[in-house]
Structure 1
Amino acid sequence: MQDSLHLLRTRRFLPIFTTQFLGAFNDNLFRTSMVLLVIYGIYRNAEQEATFSAIAGGLFILPFFLLSALSGQLADALDKARIVRIVKSVEIAIMIFGAAGLLLQNVPLLLIALTAMGVHSTFFGPIKYAILPQHLTKDEVLGGTGLVEAGTYIAILCGTIFGGLLVHQRSDGSYHAEWAAVGVLAVALIGRVAGGFVPAAPPADDAEIPGYPHRGMDWHIIRASVTLVSATLHVRRLFLAILAISFFWAMGAVLAAQFPPLVKNVFYGDQGVATLFLAVFSVGVAIGSVAINRMLKGRVSARFAPSSALLMGIFVLLLFWLTRNWPASTELVTFREFLRHPLAWAVVLDLLGVAIAGGMFVVPLYAFLTTTVPKSETARTVAANNIVNSGAMVLATLMLTGLVLVGFSVAQTLFLVALGSVIAAWLGWKLHLACD
């Protein structure tokens, strides 16, 4: 039951896993290439770099806030496999623009493509979780969710590494990303092929369950979003789960936005060190996502959520201390030079700890969302979660941008993330009391 790897040998799971893996890989191949190209090859100012990272993160998140209600309705109303094929076809067109932005080093074009990829992920997001209860048995859903989450972060790792490798510096000091442009197009094409093998997942017919009446399509974006969120959050257990996940992603948005500036302007590392940081974080979340399934033995529970959130906060607080005590430098170092520093392995292990605790915290909560509502409502529930999550992430990135502009350092924003983990732990504890 807790050994979920057998799912990778089944058609009811492998195609959606592969499609999600390739989508996450391409997102991060493009985003890493873009961020490294802009920060190391275009901008030369620490404030500009931090502001760009925050704006890029906000633009990617914004479609989740605006369009999740529509995507959730469509996913519950139509065959989810059909939507997968449409979305993956659109990804090819988006990556044509993204590749052009990388080749031309055009920041507005890159940001347009990034926002479009946010729209792409908005429509795919509810499906990757909502399709699991249709294709898996009840005691396989936590394991399947953990594998999807672990696979996503391994894909982030691979996309991050390739994004870092494919942005190269020429002898004249300029940075170029021609191979990254080719890569994002190739992966989009392969992802469309994988999406074609996802088994049919027609709308579930269990709307007669009390408390979950069938709802038709509402194309008014704002009204649909308000209706969807209010209809979901009035259920206490869902309210607590969604708020806990939202705090997690708000903290994650700040950390993700700060990674490149943190590496360059605090640890004085080049793009290789930035890739190392993102890779370590991705591996950590993957480890935590798989470990929590074994700890819970396949049972969907928030039992370990409070301790996981507090542990994450402790590791972030330690990272804050390490940034405060890192010596200043006048030049950037490679990742090999970075690892020779006496405190370097403390930084790496600390990042790994942050990520493992984060994976252990969030995976059971996603499984909880998809297993405690009727199958006809799973995509809407995930979409409502995405709306609240994205709102929290947008607010977090706006707050981060404002703090940077008024003079807050990267280290000081890490301290705020550590404080936020206490709230996430409290919400996890309330959910545990309400449901377990």
Structure 2
Amino acid sequence: MQDSLHLLKTRRFLPLFATQFLGAFNDNLFRTSMVLLVIYGIYGDPQQEATFSAVAGGLFILPFFLLSALAGQLADSIDKARIIRIVKTAEILIMIVGAAGLLLHNVPLLLVALAAMGVHSTFFGPIKYAVLPQHLEDSEVLGGTGLVEAGTYVAILGGTLLGGVLVYQHADGFHVARAAVAVILVALIGRWVGGMVPPAPPQADAPPLKMDWHIIRASVTLVNATLHIRRLFIAILAISFFWAMGAVLAAQFPPLVKNGLGSDQHVATLFLAVFSIGVALGSVAVNRLLGGHVSARYAPVSALGMGLFVLDLYRRVKWWPEIAPGEKLRGLTAFLALPNSWAVVLDLLGVAIAGGMFVVPLYAFLTTTVAKSETARTVAANNIVNSGFMVLATLILTLAVQLGVTVADSLLIVAIASVIAAWLGWLLHKACD
């Protein structure tokens, strides 16, 4: 970790890190504000709330599936710093729409802004990883990737906490005006910082810009061009299983807390915060363990660790004491006073730490195993497959909820997927290390 901290003092890394940090912060500030407002202030039916969470997750991910091929073509063919400036300008306009949705308590408008943020992230996603091998030395890429992931999840924590504080300030009502102002302000700062990212022109051997606007054909072509390489195929599948598990967990946190644990939005915020801290810790720890060397050595045990912690979480939630009819949802103090409450928190932390240790080396592997002129397209292909898995996971989750599967039972889906992720991590370790 100490070796990679020096990157935060350099212009070749700090502006990109800060831009990504602010983007993740604002994304989660808006999403937390939206989810808490809808779950705790607009809807009142458990099935409706769980369905909303799943649909919102699917809408955010769908643009990754549809538009990543276009994003990858752009990022490898023109200056990546220029794309950052365009994307961050678009974020300001999107957050104006999102702020209006918050102020009006308008669910369709909120979902439109959420989907637009998905488009924003689709075009920024390939850049944040593809710039690293272009601006950093080979020995710095794993550390830089770990810092980006850690910073992302610290930003998620900050945005989550601020969203909870700004939206739900008193027991008798919601106060979203401050959140509406905040998302626009952060977007403006993000645009200013994004303008400081050093130029990242296309490599000399990069293909000329020739956009294929047929999004399905472009996506199929890009994925086929990447997945025929076995080591990339395994790495992308492993990352996809990680994000599919994450999609299920993220979609279910608010309804899990409210309907599974009988607790209020402060406990939901705690869960999101613990998860964010855990992934950040895992992202940093794996760089220290690997000594800067890109390797899948710890991927299998990390994935199995995720599964074991999820199983223990399932066991505890399944037998959690229900609140009495007419009783108020438990606050943070009341929740933490219950037996096994800290065990639930530690389970979440364990899942997140293992997840960070699992995924960071795989992302570093993607950007260092191909030519620098192909990194953005490789990350874009990864994003397409990831998003496909995540959308599929949210569809399965939505269907399961409609069929009567409880939030607690849905955790078993994550546990099963972790075994497959461990197997894929083992295959990649044997093939490349």
TM over 0.5: yes
Provide the C-alpha distance between the structure 2 equivalents of 1:85 and 1:237, rounded to a whole number of angstroms: 33
Provide the C-alpha distance between the structure 2 equivalents of 1:72 and 1:197, rounded to a whole number of angstroms: 22
Q: Does 1:308 align with 2:286?
A: no
Give the aligned partner of residue 30 of structure 1. 30
Provide the C-alpha distance between the structure 2 equivalents of 1:324 and 1:56, rounded to a whole number of angstroms: 25
Q: Does 1:378 align with 2:375?
A: yes
Give the aligned partner of residue 117 of structure 2. 117
Q: Is the 8 A contact 1:206 1:375 kept in 2?
A: no
CA deviations over 1:153-185 (Å, ceiling 9, x no partner): 0000000000110112556x3323111101100
Alignment counterpart, residue 276 of structure 1, candidates 257, 270, 275:
270
Alignment counterpart, residue 358 of structure 1, candidates 352, 355, 360:
355
Q: Is the 8 A contact 1:248 1:424 kept in 2?
A: yes
Q: Does 1:430 align with 2:422?
A: no
1:35-434 mapped onto 2 (5 Å cutoff): 35-168=35-168, 170=170, 173-207=172-206, 216-330=210-324, 331-434=328-431
Q: Is the 8 A contact 2:78 2:209 kept in 1?
A: no
Q: Is the 8 A contact 2:77 2:208 kept in 1?
A: no
- Residue 215 of structure 1 deviates from its aligned partner by 7.7
Provide the C-alpha distance between the structure 1 equivalents of 2:2 and 2:167, rounded to a whole number of angstroms: 40
Provide the C-alpha distance between the structure 2 equivalents of 1:220 and 1:77, rounded to a whole number of angstroms: 18
| Secondary structure, aligned partner of 2:294 | coil
- Residue 269 of structure 1 deviates from its aligned partner by 1.2
Q: Is the 8 A contact 2:41 2:174 kept in 1?
A: yes
1:10-29 mapped onto 2 (5 Å cutoff): 10-29=10-29
Provide the C-alpha distance between the structure 2 equivalents of 1:365 and 1:217, rounded to a whole number of angstroms: 28
Q: Is the 8 A contact 1:40 1:175 kept in 2?
A: no
Q: Is the 8 A contact 1:50 1:404 kept in 2?
A: yes
Provide the C-alpha distance between the structure 1 equivalents of 2:242 and 2:208, rounded to a whole number of angstroms: 31
- Residue 341 of structure 1 deviates from its aligned partner by 1.0
| Secondary structure, aligned partner of 1:336 | helix
| Secondary structure, aligned partner of 1:429 | helix
Question: Partner letter of residue 315 of structure 1?
Answer: F
- Residue 325 of structure 1 deviates from its aligned partner by 1.7
Seen in structure 2, the aligned counterparts of structure 1 residues 229 and 214 have a Cα distance that, compared at 3 Å, is farther
Moved more, 323-332 or 372-381: 323-332
Identity %: 76
Provide the C-alpha distance between the structure 1 equivalents of 2:309 and 2:431, rounded to a whole number of angstroms: 28
Q: Is the 8 A contact 2:57 2:247 kept in 1?
A: yes
CA deviations over 1:185-204 (Å, ceiling 9, x no partner): 00000000000100000001
Provide the C-alpha distance between the structure 2 equivalents of 1:79 and 1:44, rounded to a whole number of angstroms: 48
Provide the C-alpha distance between the structure 2 equivalents of 1:335 and 1:238, rounded to a whole number of angstroms: 44
Q: How many residues align?
A: 430
- Residue 411 of structure 1 deviates from its aligned partner by 1.2
TM-score by length of 2: 0.98
Provide the C-alpha distance between the structure 2 equivalents of 1:178 and 1:318, rounded to a whole number of angstroms: 40
Q: Is the 8 A contact 1:288 1:355 kept in 2?
A: yes
Provide the C-alpha distance between the structure 2 equivalents of 1:241 and 1:348, rounded to a whole number of angstroms: 30
Q: Is the 8 A contact 1:2 1:293 kept in 2?
A: no
Provide the C-alpha distance between the structure 2 equivalents of 1:126 and 1:169, rounded to a whole number of angstroms: 37
| Secondary structure, aligned partner of 1:160 | helix
Give the aligned partner of residue 210 of structure 1. none
